[in-house]
Each structure stands twice: as structure tokens, then as C-alpha cells.
Structure 1
Amino acid sequence: MLFNPKPLKDPVHFKFPLQCIWLKLNGSWPLKRKMSNALEKYFSFLYSTWAWYVVAMVGITIGFQSAFLVTTFGNITVTTENGCTTFMGVLNFVRLLHLRLRQKEFHQLIAQFVQHIWITKSSQVSIERGCARNMRVYQVISVLQSCLITMYCVMPLVELYMLTVNHPHDLDSVAKPFPYKMLFPYDANHGWRYALTYLFTAWAGVCVVTTLFAEDSLFGFFVTYTCGQFRILHNRIDNIIPDSYAAVQAGRGGTVDDYQRECVRRLDRIAAKHSILFDFVNLLEEFFSPILLVNFLISSLLICMVGFQLVTMKNMFIGDYIKFLVYIFSSLSQLFVLCWNGDKIIQNSLEMANHLYSCNWERDIIFTDTRVGNNVGNNPQSLKSLPTVYYSTDSIFRRKLQFMILRSQRQTCITAMKFSTLSLNSFSGLMSSSMSYFALLQSFYENEEN
């Protein structure tokens, strides 16, 4: 009932990143377009209901955090500490809402990837291994962020246990800890209300963090294999002349006209695949650009606030210190990997022009091929080198090549709603903004201390 397409070639080995299971668990994964029976329709209704419940749950938890943020706005240290979790929640609330409202586009993106972008192990062993190796980075980031949300959910329970040990008789009068700083419109510190509120807000945090690394892993999955397809095209362009000659020699033909037609035919196939890659990158940008814009706007604030906590907090509990260290490292890693993937798309698309120009279209190529002469038997000394000549490409091939080079000189990139390009330059710009915000916060903090 969930949309899980399989490629026509090697469907057994195809699978999405393991992190995507969280998108399925929180209701963000698209369903099949056509439901065959009443049971599937009923499941679709329940799945959509659960998805909107998760969105509402995260939104309510952000409301509790925002209420606390407003009431403590004058205190810089408390505001920045609470701002970390609040802004992280806002970022992923937007992600959940975006995934829920754009199910049709999400469905189309997955279908296009499976049909045109996936690289099988049997066809391109080295490139497929490289793509799988690059995905390990997302596994590491997912582990870091999983550790982060685990610390947020477990550490208050440790604190609660210490309260029961130190204040066994006054426990009802003491404010009990929650995963994040929140202000409730009801008494949430006693009995079943505390347990229910704790579970509710903790699960909201789990949905927030798992959506973050699951969607980023899926985005990296799409980008990594798209870059792999670009590398396949680079190899095909580099070998277009010898492959065309070998194909003509292996067939019944072998004339100059046969060779010219084979070169043009192979170039047309490369151009068609090139166009498919451009279209897929455009789909990626159209779907992910709103999320990237919100990510860029919030990430610099998040990094600034976490860094401020690490630098200015005194007598910090060791668990909180580790929590903030994991927080800032995972945030920096997540942002860097996104920008790094965007930069890889740009570089691979621009390299097309260099490979097209260097495919030896401009001259005859002569090399020697060792073959056995006609008048010799089993004598090894009878081997001799015969020249094999590649003919020059004709005007049709060169004209098409010119158009492809012109198109390849215009970079293919993913943007954040056209405000910023996803690249390493954007990452350095975000780090510069974070340092500026940090310096501003530190000056306010010093004035407050004085």
C-alpha cells in the first residue's frame, strides 16, 4: 500500500536508505496512487490520519516551547538554550508539513529516480560501489542525531530519579523535568498528566529528529546516484570514438558513413540521458528548495545558539555539555553534507563540457593493434602490428557536440528557492553569518553581566 517501486533491472538489490523507514513510520511516505480494494483504502485513511496526528503533535509541542521562550525572553542564556530545541522543532515541523502537502510531487520524484537514476551493481560496479560508500556519511550523521534525541529523552528521567532519591517526600512540590523547556496551559507536574505529557513531547522530539536525518538521507541518496549517472556519461563520452569504431567493425558494415552514423547515434543517446538528468535535478530543486530555504535560515541561528551555550555556560552538567557538543557537531555535519552534495551536482554537470570537448572529435586517431598475420601459424614471432584508423567526425556530429557543450557550460544546481545555491560557498557564508550572530549575542551577554 505504501509506494515502493522497483526498477526493471536488478530489482532484488534495490532498496532505499534504511533511515527512510522513519518517513514511513511518521506518515510522510507517499501511498500508491490506485487502491485495489476496500482494505487498502481503509489503510490509506488510517495512514493519513496518523500523519496529520504527527504533524499536530509536533506543532503542539512547539507551541509549549514557544510559550516558555516568550516568558523568558529577557534572559539571554535561557533564551538561547530553549531556542535551540524550538527552532529545530520549527524546522522539522515545516518539513513534516511540506512532505504531507506535497505527496503527489514526492511520488513523482521517487518514480523518476527508480526509473532513470538508479545504478545497478551489474552494470556499473565501481560507480555503484562509490555511491554506496558515499551514503555511509549519512549513516554516521543519523547515528549522531539519534544519540542526540536519546539524550534529550533519557537525561530528564535520570534527573527525575535523582529527585526521587534526594527529595522523596517533597517530590510533588518540585517542578519535574521534561525533555525540553516548556510552559503548559495545565498542571503537567503530577500523576498521569506528567507521564502522558512526557511521552507526548518525547515522541514529538523523536519524530522531529528522525524526519531530519531520514529526509536528508533520501536527498543525499538521490544526489549521490545522480552524480553517479553523470560519471557514467563522462565515461561514455570519453569512449564514444573508439566504441563507435568497434561497433562498426563488429557489424557487417565498416564504411565511413556507417561510422559517422554510429557516432551520431551514440551522441544522441548521451544527449537524451543528459536531458533526463537535467530534468531530475529540476525535480529535486522544485521539491526540496522550500525545505532548503528554511534550513538555511534557521541553521545559522541554531549553530550560533549552541556555540553560545558551550562558550558561556558555567558549571554545566557534564551530560548537558556532551549533549551540546553532539548537537553542534551533528548540525554542522548535516549542513555541510547538504552543501557538499549540491556542490557535487554543480561540478559533475560542468565537467560534461570538458569531456565533450576532449572526446577527440577534431582529428583522425591512429593507434596500433596487435594481430596475427594471415600467412602465419602458431609461431609467436609471426605477430605483427597493423594500423587501425578512426575517421574524422562529420559536421552533423560536431554541430550537435557544440550545442551540448554550450548547454553543459551552464551549471546545473539546486537552490533554496533561488535565494541561495546549495554549494560549499553557501556553507562558508552560513558559517560567517553564524559567527556574526555569535559575536552579537556575546556582546549582549557581556553587557548583561556588567
Structure 2
Amino acid sequence: MLFNPQPSKDQKNFRFPLQCVWLKLNGSWPLKPTVTGEFEKYFRLLYSTWAWYVVAMVGITIGFQSAFLLKSFGNIMVTTENGCTTFMGVLNFVRLLHMRLHQRDFQQLLAQFVKDIWITSSSHPTVERACARNMRVFQVISVLQSSLITMYCILPLVELYMLTVNVEPDVLDSMPKPFPYKMLFPFDANHGWRYALTYLFTAWAGVCVVTTLFAEDSLFGFFVSYTCGQFRILHTQIDNIIPDSYAATRAGRGTEAVFQRECIQRLDKIANKHCVLFNFVSRMEEFFSPILLVNFLISSVLICMVGFQLVTGQNMFIGDYVKFLVYILSSLSQLFVLCWNGDNIIQNSLEMANHLYACNWESSVKVAADEEKKESFPIVSYSTSAAFRKNLQFMIMRSQRQTCITAMKFSILSLNSFSGVRIHISYNTL
């Protein structure tokens, strides 16, 4: 019922990151393109209803937070603290809405990854292990962000328990009750069943926000890691064009013309795979680009707000400093991981040109004897053809143009962009 494409090889070991379970629970994961029965038809209806309910739930909670933000706008401390949770909610509300409105694009991106990008451990074990290691960063970030939202949801309950122990029931009944975040409600949410339902409603909205954040980032990192792995496989194939072509020619008792055709065929296969990678990165940019732009803008605003408060704030408790440091480090680390992945694609794509130029296209392969029969032959030189060198030149020219992911062409996802954002924010804060 949910769309789970499988590769043609090694299906047993293929799986999307574990964090993607939350995208399925939040209703963001695409469904199968075809319906085969009544049960799947009703499931599709219920799943879509749940997905839009999650979007509405997050939107309503952001509305409650925004109302409190407007009410306390004069208090810079409260405004900064509440602005962090509100803007983070807005960011992930946009993410949820984007994935819901672009289900077909999401489905096609998943299918193309499984078909063209996935690397099996049986074919390239070293590269596959390196890709798996890169995903550990996202696993750590997922655990930290899960711990953060757990604290937001549980600590108000601990505070409420302490109030029930230390405060008289009559006084407690008239006091405002704690919630996961600062909010202003258009109804009385501090008493009885209304408090319980409102608390559960807003707490689950926060869970949906945080899980969407690290789940989608993990999926993005998953795509990027294996795309870079495919580039590294191409690098190795380029390095071995000449010796592999000679070995194939030698095995078939071929001539120099056979050797030259073998070189061209292997180069054409590499060029076709390079086009496949370029097309996948373009499709990935098309899907993630709007989200990345909103991410850059909102994270920049948050970092400026919190940085200004840390620099100019006076008489703040140590707990406030720790809280604001957590906010600013979270935003910076999330931006850094995204830019680091984008930079990996740029570096691996540009490296193609170096490997192409250094593949020994200018050298000749000398054949002196038949190694199997131990018979001596005249020394013969096999050289690459003019057609091979011409194709190689075009590939080098194309590889010198970086393959990258942008935030709606506003900024390239790279470490240089991250440094520029950080320096610009630090300047404005000071």
C-alpha cells in the first residue's frame, strides 16, 4: 500500500533509513500508484485524511504559538525563546505541506534512487560500507533531536506534578497550567479534559515537527551518500579504462582496432552513467530545493535572534544561556550537515575531470609476447584512437562544470555557502 520500491538485486539487504518510519507515520510517504482492491482504496483514503490532519494539527499549534508571540512581543527574552519554537514549527509545516503536495515527485525520486543509485554490498562492498558510515551522523542527530522533543513533552508534566504536590488544590485550579511550548488559546485550556486534550494535541504536533525534520534530512543524506558512492565507482572505472580494455582485448586475441573499440565502449558506459547521476541530482534538487530555501531563511533568522540575545542579554540565568546555546548550535549543526552533503556532491563531480585526464589516454600499451604460450612476438604498441580522445575531451569539459544542489538558485549547498552565512550572521549580530 505504501510505496516501497525494491532493487533488482540484493533486495534482502535494501532498506531506507530507519528514520523514514516517521515520514510514514506522519502521512508524508507516497502511496503505491495503483489501487488493486477495496481495502487499498479505503486505506488510501484514511492515510490521506490522516496526512492532512497532521498538517492541520501542526498549523493550528503554530497559530497558538504565534498568538503568544504577538502578545509578548515587547519582552525580548520571551520573544526570542518562543520565536525559536515557532519558526521551527513553521519550517517543518512547510516541509509537511510540500511533501503532501508533491507526492508524485517524491515517488519518482524514490523509484529512480532504487533503480539507478543504490549500491549493493556484493558488487562494491568498500563503497557501500563508506556510504553506510556517512549515515551515522544523521543517526546521532536523530537521537539528539528525539531527546529534545521528549524533554519538551515530559518536563511540563513533571512541573505539573510538582505543582499538585506543593500547591493547594483551590490555588492550583486558578493557575495557568504548563504546556510543551508557550501558547495562547482562544478557549479555556487550563481545566479538566480540555487541558488533557490540548496538551496531547500540541505535544503530538511537536513530535511530528521534529520527526519530520530529522527524517527528511536523513533521507536527503541517504540520497547524497549513495550518489557520491556512485561517483567514486566511476572514478575507479575511469582509472582502469586502459588496462581493462587491454585485458579484454588480450583475452579475445584482438587487434589494436578491437582495443580502441573496447576503450570507446567503456568510456561511453561511463558517460551514460554520469548522465544518470546528473539527472538524479537535478531531480533531487527540484524536489528538495524549496525546502532548502525555507530552511536557509528561517535558520538564518533564528541564529540572528538567538545570537543577538546571547551577545546583548543581561541578567540572564545560566539556564537561559544553556537553552539559547542549544538553539543556536542545533540550527548551525543542521545547516552544516546539509551544506556538507551538498559539498560532497560538488567535490565528487569535479573530481571526475581529474580522473579522466589522468587515465593514461596519451600512453601506448606495449605487447611483447604471448604470456600463455610463452612465445615471443614483435613489440606492438596499442594506442587510443582519435575518437576516444575527442569523447574524453568533451567529458572533461562537462565534468569541469560542477554538479550541485541549490536552494531555489538562491544559494548553492556547499561549505563555502555555510561559511558565508555564518560570517554574515556573525557580522549582523555584532
Q: TM-score, normalised by structure 2?
A: 0.95
Deviation at 1:367, TM superposition (A): 8.9
Deviation at 1:390, TM superposition (A): 5.7
Do residues 328 (structure 1) and 364 (structure 2) align?
A: no
Do residues 432 (structure 1) and 384 (structure 2) align?
A: no
Matches within 5 A, 1:112-127: 112-127=112-127
Matches within 5 A, 1:369-408: 374=374, 391-408=382-399
Counterparts of 2:177 and 2:152, CA distance in 1: 14
What amino acid sits opposite 2:199 in the alignment? Y
Q: 1:423 to 1:387 in 2, by over 3 A?
A: farther
Counterparts of 1:257 and 1:263, CA distance in 2: 10
Which sits farther off after the overlay, 414-423 or 389-398?
A: 389-398
Counterparts of 1:177 and 1:369, CA distance in 2: 86
Q: 1:176 to 1:126 in 2, by over 3 A?
A: same
Do residues 233 (structure 1) and 249 (structure 2) align?
A: no
Report the equivalent of 1:23. 23
Query: CA contact under 8 A between 1:245 and 1:390: conserved in structure 2?
Result: no
Matches within 5 A, 1:129-208: 129-169=129-169, 170-208=171-209
Deviation at 1:437, TM superposition (A): 4.4
* 1:391-424 deviations in Å (ceiling 9; x for gaps): 1100110111111111111111000000100001
SS at match of 2:188: coil
Report the equivalent of 1:263. 263
Query: CA contact under 8 A between 1:6 and 1:14: conserved in structure 2?
Result: yes
* 1:104-158 deviations in Å (ceiling 9; x for gaps): 0000000000000000000101110000000000001111111111111111112
Deviation at 1:438, TM superposition (A): 3.0
What amino acid sits opposite 1:84 in the alignment? C
What amino acid sits opposite 1:17 in the alignment? P
What amino acid sits opposite 2:91 in the alignment? L
What amino acid sits opposite 2:409 in the alignment? K
Deviation at 1:434, TM superposition (A): 2.8
Do residues 346 (structure 1) and 346 (structure 2) align?
A: yes
Counterparts of 1:325 and 1:145, CA distance in 2: 15
Counterparts of 1:308 and 1:192, CA distance in 2: 40
Q: 1:386 to 1:83 in 2, by over 3 A?
A: farther
Which sits farther off after the overlay, 323-332 or 165-174?
A: 323-332
What amino acid sits opposite 2:194 in the alignment? R
Query: CA contact under 8 A between 1:148 and 1:327: conserved in structure 2?
Result: no
Do residues 290 (structure 1) and 281 (structure 2) align?
A: no
Runs of at least 4 residues off by over 6 Å? 367-370, 385-389
Counterparts of 1:357 and 1:335, CA distance in 2: 34
Which sits farther off after the overlay, 215-224 or 242-251?
A: 242-251
Q: 1:273 to 1:290 in 2, by over 3 A?
A: same
* 1:410-448 deviations in Å (ceiling 9; x for gaps): 111000000100001111122123324433xxxxxxxxx
Counterparts of 2:316 and 2:281, CA distance in 1: 49
Q: 1:370 to 1:216 in 2, by over 3 A?
A: farther
Counterparts of 1:344 and 1:291, CA distance in 2: 19
Q: 1:143 to 1:326 in 2, by over 3 A?
A: farther
Query: CA contact under 8 A between 2:364 and 2:382: conserved in structure 1?
Result: yes
What amino acid sits opposite 1:77 in the alignment? M
SS at match of 1:99: helix
Do residues 409 (structure 1) and 410 (structure 2) align?
A: no
Counterparts of 2:368 and 2:145, CA distance in 1: 58
> How many aligned positions are there?
428
Matched residues, percent identical? 74
Deviation at 1:165, TM superposition (A): 2.0
* 1:238-271 deviations in Å (ceiling 9; x for gaps): 00000001111112x3201110110000000000
Deviation at 1:316, TM superposition (A): 3.5
What amino acid sits opposite 1:183 in the alignment? L
Counterparts of 1:173 and 1:389, CA distance in 2: 98
Deviation at 1:374, TM superposition (A): 4.0
Q: TM-score, normalised by structure 1?
A: 0.91
Counterparts of 1:277 and 1:368, CA distance in 2: 40
SS at match of 2:19: helix
Matches within 5 A, 1:201-220: 201-220=202-221
Q: 1:58 to 1:403 in 2, by over 3 A?
A: same
Structure 1: where are the runs of 5+ without partners?
376-384, 440-450
Which sits farther off after the overlay, 42-51 or 142-151?
A: 142-151
Query: CA contact under 8 A between 2:2 and 2:30: conserved in structure 1?
Result: yes
What amino acid sits opposite 2:386 in the alignment? S
Query: CA contact under 8 A between 2:256 and 2:383: conserved in structure 1?
Result: no
Q: 1:133 to 1:14 in 2, by over 3 A?
A: same
Counterparts of 2:217 and 2:364, CA distance in 1: 48
Query: CA contact under 8 A between 1:293 and 1:417: conserved in structure 2?
Result: yes
Do residues 40 (structure 1) and 43 (structure 2) align?
A: no
SS at match of 1:420: coil
What amino acid sits opposite 1:201 in the alignment? T
Which sits farther off after the overlay, 176-185 or 427-436?
A: 427-436
Matches within 5 A, 1:48-59: 48-59=48-59
Deviation at 1:315, TM superposition (A): 5.4
Which sits farther off after the overlay, 165-174 or 57-66?
A: 165-174
Structure 2: where are the runs of 5+ without partners?
none
Do residues 420 (structure 1) and 411 (structure 2) align?
A: yes
